[in-house]
Amino acid sequence: MPSSPAAARPEDWDRALQTASPAEVIAAALEVAGREQLALVSSFGTESAALLKVMADVDPAIPVLFLDTGWMFDETLAYRDELIRTLGLRDVRTVRPASASLAAHDPDADRWSSDPDTCCRIRKVEPLAQALAPFCAWINGRKRFQGGSRAAIPVVEQEDGRLKFNPFANVTSDDIQLIYASADLPPHPLVASGFASVGCMPCTSRTLPGEDPRAGRWRGRGKTECGIHKPAG
């Protein structure tokens, strides 16, 4: 670990945590930021319970930010509530888009169809940026095995002047399944229906056998990210 956590550079933390376990990465984030300045951002999607379980084992009172875009599946909202109870999460905060922004840019609630990038911006990117303003560091669940722009993510990086911890950067799909099995975590309700990755309802479809797990997100649009995560580097 860097000898002076508060003064350490992101690359120092990244180098120190290259082979750390997810729990060790979260503990380091807690050390450098403190609970009041650290947030975990979760979609409460198909793999979210694994990261939330690891976090809860370190400190279940770390604030968790959940983006309710207005287009979430009812199953995702129910899953959020189930995981709060199951894992004993003490500070889950639901973040919603500003009503004024929706009125100005998506008055008919159809922007997802004509301009999904703008829809993501007003329903995800801008609300999250505002919600993260009080924090100096945050945790997310991206994994290198997801490929694309995620294939090269570091364990620790800096984004918009804020430390960003990626404790699952090095995990494998088998590691995720092991966490679920060992902790007897409930699956997302839509997994059994063929949804390997779940986001907003209009832009999420089932995945076919052999497809990339994220193939059902923005299918046919050439879009792979909502915009809350900037490309590595």
Active site members: 226
Contact 146, 171 (CB under 8 A): no
Query: Rounded to whole angstroms, how far apart are CA atoms 179 and 55?
Result: 12
CA distances from 160 to 12, 137, 172, 203, 212 (A): 18, 10, 28, 27, 30
Other residues' Cβ atoms within 10 Å of the Cβ of residue 56: 22
DSSP E strands in 43-130: the ranges are 64-67, 92-95
Q: Order the strands of the 38-41 sheet from edge to edge.
A: 92-95, 64-67, 38-41, 137-139, 162-165, 156-159
